[in-house]
């Protein structure tokens, strides 16, 4: 993706993706309700975005997650989830500098005390970490994350699926999977649960 915030940057040319992210927010909120609504509320909730890119979309889904945590009755009344760790993943060539510049306003929005002294308004302390690397490999220690978000990334392949290069080229002449693709294409580009388990 094109970094920075100039006219041709991803930051300035990702409005359609932003619209789709808005439609995903209820799913994120539902997942947070499931995580924080039961008896075993994590004291430190760990949330990741895989393929965050840069610009406003990089923090949009994790922001929805943090907002949802802060609205949970178990968090507001019982102060059970005290920390939220946000992990932003993308390939090492991503413009993480631009992402990091947006972190202070993200933390302010979530009422954090930037000195790290705790959630400024009594809410959980929010911390943001970069996690550069490919989601085709291992990015996090096993069983670390509670919620993983990803938008417009899992299909944005940084390598051709093995199934499409072994033997016959089933998607020859095309760089995408669509209605007119050969039947073998869609399963090859969709991550299987076991592939995701290997990453997470
Ligand atoms: C179209 S952007 C999506 C950005 C943002 N999530 C959004 O919805 O607007 C796709 C991002 O996925 C990243 N990406 C592609 N393959 C990846 C991989 N194997 N591991 C990590 N990130 C990857 C790209 O570098 C790019 O920043």
Q: How many angstroms is it from 115 CA to the middle of ligand 1?
A: 31
Same domain for 27 and 70, yes or no, is: yes
Q: Is the pLDDT of residue 101 over 50?
A: yes
Q: For the residues 102-131, what does the mean pLDDT come to?
A: 80
Residue with CA closest to ligand 1 atom 13: 51
**Coil, strand or helix: which one is 95?**
coil
Q: Is residue 133 part of a domain?
A: yes
Angstrom distances, CA of residue 66 to CA of 49, 71, 86, 115, 151? 12, 9, 9, 19, 17
Same domain for 176 and 126, yes or no, is: no
Same domain for 77 and 131, yes or no, is: yes
Q: Is the pLDDT of residue 113 over 60?
A: no
Q: What is the pLDDT of residues 167-197, one digit of tens each?
A: 677 777 777 777 888 888 887 777 666 666 6
**Coil, strand or helix: which one is 59?**
helix
Atom of ligand 1 nearest to the CA of 150: 6
The residue segments making up the domain with residue 30 are 15-153
- What angle, 0 to 180 degrees and rounded to 10, lies between the N-to-C axes of helices 15-37 and 57-71? 30
* Mutational pocket test of ligand 1: of 156, 161, 191, 200, the residue with most ligand atoms within 8 Å of the beta carbon: 156
Q: Is residue 7 part of a domain?
A: no
Same domain for 173 and 118, yes or no, is: no
Task: Give residue ranges with CB within 6 A of ligand 1.
Answer: 1, 14, 17, 21, 51-53, 57, 89-91, 94, 134-136, 151-153, 156, 158
Residue 27 pLDDT? 97
Q: For the residues 77-96, what does the mean pLDDT come to?
A: 93
The confidence band for 117, taking pLDDT boundaries of 50, 70 and 90, is very low
- Nearest-CA neighbor of 144 among 106, 200, 83? 200
Q: What is the pLDDT of residues 49-72, one digit of tens each?
A: 999 999 999 999 999 999 999 999
Residue 139 pLDDT? 94
Q: Which one-letter DSSP state was computed for residue 92? A: T
Q: Is the pLDDT of residue 141 over 60?
A: yes
> Among residues of the chain, what percentage have pLDDT more than 70?
86
Q: Are 150 and 51 in contact (CB under 8 A)?
A: yes
Same domain for 106 and 182, yes or no, is: no
Q: How many angstroms is it from 111 CA to the middle of ligand 1?
A: 28
Residue with CA closest to ligand 1 atom 24: 51
Q: Is the pLDDT of residue 88 over 60?
A: yes
Q: Is residue 2 part of a domain?
A: no
* Mutational pocket test of ligand 1: of 9, 21, 55, 90, the residue with most ligand atoms within 8 Å of the beta carbon: 90
Residue 115 pLDDT? 43
Q: For the residues 145-153, what does the mean pLDDT come to?
A: 93
The total domain count for the chain is: 2
Atom of ligand 1 nearest to the CA of 14: 9
């Amino acid at each position: 993706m094109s970094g920075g915030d100039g006219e041709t940057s991803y930051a300035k040319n990702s409005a359609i993706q932003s619209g789709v992210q808005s439609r995903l927010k209820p799913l994120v909120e539902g997942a947070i309700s499931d995580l924080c609504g039961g008896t075993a509320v994590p004291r430190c909730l760990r949330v990741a975005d895989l393929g965050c890119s840069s610009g406003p979309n990089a923090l949009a889904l994790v922001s929805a997650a943090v907002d949802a945590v802060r609205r949970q009755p178990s968090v507001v009344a019982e102060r059970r989830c005290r920390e939220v760790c946000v992990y932003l993943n993308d390939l090492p060539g991503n413009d993480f500098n631009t992402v990091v510049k947006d972190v202070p306003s993200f933390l302010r929005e979530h009422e954090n005390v930037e000195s790290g002294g705790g959630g400024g308004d009594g809410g959980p302390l929010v911390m943001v970490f970069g996690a550069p690397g490919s989601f085709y490999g291992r990015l996090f220690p096993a069983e670390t994350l509670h919620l993983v978000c990803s938008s417009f990334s899992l299909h944005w392949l940084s390598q051709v699926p093995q199934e499409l290069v072994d033997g016959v080229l089933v998607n020859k002449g095309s760089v995408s999977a669509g209605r007119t693709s050969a039947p073998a294409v869609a399963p090859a580009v969709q991550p299987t649960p076991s592939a995701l388990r290997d990453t997470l």
